Amino acid sequence: EVRLVESGGGLVQPGGSLRLSCAASGFTFSDYDLDWVRQAPGKGLEWVGRGWNKFNSYIIEYAASVKGRFTISRDDSESSLYLQMNSLKTEDTAVYYCARDHWGSYEYWGQGTLVTVSS
Protein backbone atom coordinates (compact mmCIF):
# COMPACT_ATOMS: atom_id res chain seq x y z
CA GLU A 1 0.00 0.00 0.00
CA VAL A 2 1.36 3.40 -0.99
CA ARG A 3 1.58 5.82 1.92
CA LEU A 4 2.77 9.40 2.18
CA VAL A 5 2.96 10.84 5.69
CA GLU A 6 3.79 14.50 6.26
CA SER A 7 5.07 15.88 9.55
CA GLY A 8 6.75 18.94 10.97
CA GLY A 9 3.98 21.52 10.78
CA GLY A 10 3.19 23.94 13.57
CA LEU A 11 2.94 27.55 14.65
CA VAL A 12 5.82 29.84 13.73
CA GLN A 13 6.31 33.60 13.82
CA PRO A 14 6.73 35.65 10.65
CA GLY A 15 10.34 35.48 9.55
CA GLY A 16 10.80 32.10 11.19
CA SER A 17 11.70 28.71 9.79
CA LEU A 18 10.19 25.25 9.71
CA ARG A 19 11.15 21.94 8.14
CA LEU A 20 8.52 19.59 6.82
CA SER A 21 9.06 15.92 6.08
CA CYS A 22 7.18 13.49 3.88
CA ALA A 23 7.85 9.84 4.65
CA ALA A 24 6.96 7.45 1.86
CA SER A 25 6.35 3.72 1.85
CA GLY A 26 4.85 1.04 -0.35
CA PHE A 27 6.74 1.92 -3.53
CA THR A 28 10.27 2.43 -4.87
CA PHE A 29 10.75 6.02 -3.77
CA SER A 30 13.72 6.73 -6.04
CA ASP A 31 11.66 6.01 -9.16
CA TYR A 32 9.16 8.80 -8.62
CA ASP A 33 8.91 12.58 -8.74
CA LEU A 34 7.28 14.10 -5.68
CA ASP A 35 5.74 17.50 -5.22
CA TRP A 36 4.74 19.77 -2.39
CA VAL A 37 1.26 21.27 -2.82
CA ARG A 38 -0.31 23.65 -0.32
CA GLN A 39 -3.79 24.84 0.51
CA ALA A 40 -4.41 28.05 2.43
CA PRO A 41 -7.43 27.98 4.76
CA GLY A 42 -10.62 27.95 2.69
CA LYS A 43 -8.68 28.29 -0.56
CA GLY A 44 -7.68 26.14 -3.50
CA LEU A 45 -4.63 24.04 -4.27
CA GLU A 46 -1.28 25.63 -5.09
CA TRP A 47 1.83 23.86 -6.32
CA VAL A 48 4.89 24.72 -4.23
CA GLY A 49 7.73 22.72 -5.72
CA ARG A 50 9.09 19.42 -6.94
CA GLY A 51 11.88 16.97 -6.25
CA TRP A 52 12.50 15.15 -9.49
CA ASN A 53 13.71 11.56 -9.36
CA LYS A 54 17.11 10.06 -10.14
CA PHE A 55 16.19 9.59 -13.81
CA ASN A 56 15.73 13.36 -13.99
CA SER A 57 18.98 14.12 -12.20
CA TYR A 58 17.27 15.10 -8.96
CA ILE A 59 16.35 18.52 -10.36
CA ILE A 60 14.46 20.78 -7.95
CA GLU A 61 11.74 23.21 -9.05
CA TYR A 62 9.97 25.96 -7.11
CA ALA A 63 6.95 28.16 -7.50
CA ALA A 64 7.81 31.83 -7.88
CA SER A 65 6.04 32.61 -4.60
CA VAL A 66 8.50 30.53 -2.56
CA LYS A 67 11.69 30.60 -4.63
CA GLY A 68 14.65 31.82 -2.60
CA ARG A 69 12.89 31.09 0.71
CA PHE A 70 12.01 27.40 0.48
CA THR A 71 14.38 24.48 -0.21
CA ILE A 72 13.28 21.04 -1.29
CA SER A 73 15.46 18.01 -0.80
CA ARG A 74 15.01 14.28 -0.88
CA ASP A 75 16.79 11.33 0.64
CA ASP A 76 16.11 8.22 -1.39
CA SER A 77 17.82 6.02 1.22
CA GLU A 78 15.23 7.22 3.75
CA SER A 79 12.34 7.36 1.22
CA SER A 80 11.72 10.92 2.34
CA LEU A 81 11.04 14.32 0.83
CA TYR A 82 11.74 17.51 2.75
CA LEU A 83 10.67 21.13 2.60
CA GLN A 84 12.83 23.64 4.45
CA MET A 85 10.88 26.86 4.80
CA ASN A 86 12.72 30.05 5.77
CA SER A 87 11.64 33.69 6.02
CA LEU A 88 8.07 32.57 6.49
CA LYS A 89 5.26 35.01 5.79
CA THR A 90 1.67 35.03 7.01
CA GLU A 91 0.58 34.14 3.48
CA ASP A 92 2.49 30.84 3.77
CA THR A 93 -0.13 29.66 6.27
CA ALA A 94 -1.58 26.51 4.74
CA VAL A 95 -1.89 22.77 4.87
CA TYR A 96 1.12 21.34 3.06
CA TYR A 97 0.68 18.09 1.17
CA CYS A 98 3.20 15.90 -0.55
CA ALA A 99 1.94 14.17 -3.65
CA ARG A 100 3.38 11.52 -5.94
CA ASP A 101 3.35 12.28 -9.63
CA HIS A 102 2.82 9.64 -12.26
CA TRP A 103 2.36 10.65 -15.87
CA GLY A 104 0.96 14.10 -15.27
CA SER A 105 -1.24 13.20 -12.33
CA TYR A 106 -1.12 13.10 -8.54
CA GLU A 107 -2.02 9.51 -7.89
CA TYR A 108 -1.35 9.65 -4.18
CA TRP A 109 -1.48 12.39 -1.55
CA GLY A 110 -0.47 12.53 2.07
CA GLN A 111 -2.82 13.62 4.84
CA GLY A 112 -1.15 17.04 5.02
CA THR A 113 0.50 19.03 7.79
CA LEU A 114 -0.69 22.46 8.92
CA VAL A 115 1.71 25.39 8.98
CA THR A 116 0.50 28.53 10.73
CA VAL A 117 2.56 31.70 10.43
CA SER A 118 1.39 34.22 12.99
CA SER A 119 2.73 36.51 15.67
Residue range at the interface with another protein (CB under 8 A); choices 9-17, 20-28, 41-49, 66-74? 41-49
Cα separation of 85 and 16, whole Å?
8
Residue range at the interface with another protein (CB under 8 A); choices 19-27, 70-78, 84-92, 95-103? 95-103
Q: Closest CB to another protein among 61 and 76?
A: 61
Q: Is residue 27 a contact residue for another protein (CB under 8 A)? A: no
Residue range at the interface with another protein (CB under 8 A); choices 16-24, 71-79, 80-88, 104-112? 104-112
CA geometry: angle 95, 101, 104, nearest 5 deg: 115
Q: Is residue 103 a contact residue for another protein (CB under 8 A)? A: yes
Give φ, ψ of 56 to 5 degrees. Answer: -110, 30
Cα separation of 52 and 30, whole Å?
9
Residues 6+ apart with CB under 8 A from 53: 30, 31, 32, 33
Q: Applying CB under 8 A, which residues contact another protein?
A: 35, 44-47, 50, 61, 63, 97, 101, 103-107, 109-112
